[in-house]
Amino acid sequence: MSSSAPLSRQTSHDAAPHSPLPVLKLLTLRTHTAAFSPNEVLIDPSLVPFAKPGSLLQIIPQSDLENEAAVASDRYIFRLGDESEKDVTTKYGNLQLSVVTEVAKAFKFMTGNLVAVSLVSPLTFCELIVRSMISQ
């Protein structure tokens, strides 16, 4: 299980290095309270082998994958934490991805829904910040 720090609601379509297409992984979303874990995001790192500790990842609602005109502000960007629990399946059962309840509410993520997790390049992340500042 990895912890994370939130970075933005923005997103990108950048791919993993040496990959012509974005690397996506569909995961079942769960929610947790701060009492369960102080980390905003819990993710089984074995399910995102394309990411390393420190990677920027985004959570994309499945509806956004099906709708090319979807607004990117419905996506949640976080940094994959350095800590990794080896006994994730023993400790948390079949937990794939969990976000703290407040984040789920803010982004309208629904427990039990499939979401995509993909990489975000730091350069694209910076470009998105600049664009959001210009559009304000």
- CATH code, domain with 66: 2.40.40.20
Taking the C-alpha atoms of residue 32 and residue 14, their distance in angstroms, rounded to an integer, is 29
Residues 81, 26, 20: CA angle, nearest 5 degrees: 85
Give residue 35's domain range. 4-12+21-134
Over residues 74-127, the pLDDT tens digits come to 789 888 876 555 545 566 778 899 999 999 999 889 999 999 998 887 665 666
pTM of the model: 0.69
| Domain count along the chain | 1
